Structure 1
Amino acid sequence: MKLSKIGILTAFLTSSLYIAPNTIAATQGTLDPTSNGSFEVTLTIPDRVQISGLQDIDFGTFVSGDFNYDYPLCVYSNTPTAQYGVTVTGDGTAGAFTLTNGTDTIPYAVYWNETAGTTTGELLLTAGTKLGNRAGANQVSYTCASGGDSANIHVWIQDANMRNITNGTYTGTMTVFIDPA
């Protein structure tokens, strides 16, 4: 099949005139005593989350009894549902929740609550496992300055885990990862 120069030119011009929708929305002004034109402005805001209000925990010196420490946190989300996922890891083997003196370890438990200031309704976390579809993130302020704190974390060390352990100072680090749900 032989294409003529006119056929090739027609095909080229036809394909060059196709413009995808919304690629050129601007209108140009005309040459007159006054002129105006318009153009589109677009901005995309991605899903964003933030956790704040985290604080170091110092249980002090063990004498007897369980150690419990819980406090409210700020979880912010700009998503319409205010939902988020939370994954917490410790710095023990495979992300376990442990304190260590360099030789010995003390395990501890971590609980999460999507309501600030209470342990009622809290859920036991498994280190490194995402707890998804949490509700109630603050949508007003990413620092919770307005709208208040929106979650609660609770750390629990059982008395039995501290009774027969070598003396010393035990430390560990927890990492809290928040993602849009």
Structure 2
Amino acid sequence: MGCPRVLPGGMMLVAALAGATPAAAQQIQLTRLADFAFGTVGVDADISSSKDVCVSSSGVLGRYNIVATGSGTNRAFTLAGAGAPMAYEVQWSGTAGRATGTALTSGIATTGLATTGLGLNLGCVLGNDSASLIIVLRSSELSKATAGPYTGTLTLLIAAE
């Protein structure tokens, strides 16, 4: 078993929202984002953490896409810390309560997603989370990390389709 490392101190999530064209007038809202904090972790196994979020829509079909970007060079999903940047993976599931999802590529829209048509924020107010954001730290990256805190920012842009 490898030595435990303090990774990462925290990961801040930033959400940006974009509406559809004025003709469509559909609005999308993303709520319940929270920071990911992994604390002290080992290096012998992949580590993942999932947070449920709520995506709501003013449209009946609730179709949306999501674009994720990281704070690393060229918007890469990396954490900065004591040593070289450490890569992480971002996954998205259109269903709450998931531990795995579709891998997101930085700067590339994942399309064809849908949420409930309960109205903008109504489903969220009722406590109906509708998606999962999953962060994965691979053991191959953890084993190369220098001990110490690592942080990064993940930005999510969600837009109506």
| TM-score above 0.5, yes or no | yes
Higher relative contact order (CA 8 A, sep 6+): 2
Percent identity of paired positions between Structure 1 and Structure 2: 31
Question: Which residue of 1 is the match for residue 137 of structure 2?
Answer: 157
Partner of residue 51 from structure 1, selected from 18, 27, 30: 30
Contact kept? 1:84, 1:137, Cα under 8 Å: no
The offset of 1:46, in angstroms, is: 2.5
Q: Which residue of the partner structure matches residue 154 of structure 2?
A: 174
Equivalent residue of 1:128, what SS?
coil
Aligned pair 1:106/2:91, yes or no? no
Distance 1:138 1:145, change over 3 A: farther
SS for the counterpart of 2:74 is helix
Match runs of 1:24-173 below 5 Å = 46-64=25-43, 65-101=45-81, 104-119=84-99, 122-137=101-116, 139-142=118-121, 144-146=124-126, 148-173=128-153
Structure 1 CA distance for aligned equivalents of residues 119 and 144 of structure 2? 48
Contact 2:65 2:160 in 1 (8 A): yes
- Greater strand content: 2
* Superposition RMSD in Å: 2.0
The AA in structure 1 aligned to 2:40 is T
TM-score (norm 1): 0.69
For the pair shown, the structure with the greater C-alpha radius of gyration is 1
Which segments of 5 or more consecutive residues in structure 1 lack a partner in the other structure?
Answer: 1-43
Number of residue pairs aligned between Structure 1 and Structure 2: 137
d(CA) in 2 for partners of 1:138 and 1:147? 14
Q: TM-score of the superposition, structure 2-length normalised? A: 0.77
Residues in 2 aligned to 1:157 and 1:138: alpha-carbon distance in whole angstroms: 34
Mapped contact 2:90–2:133 kept (Cα < 8 A): yes
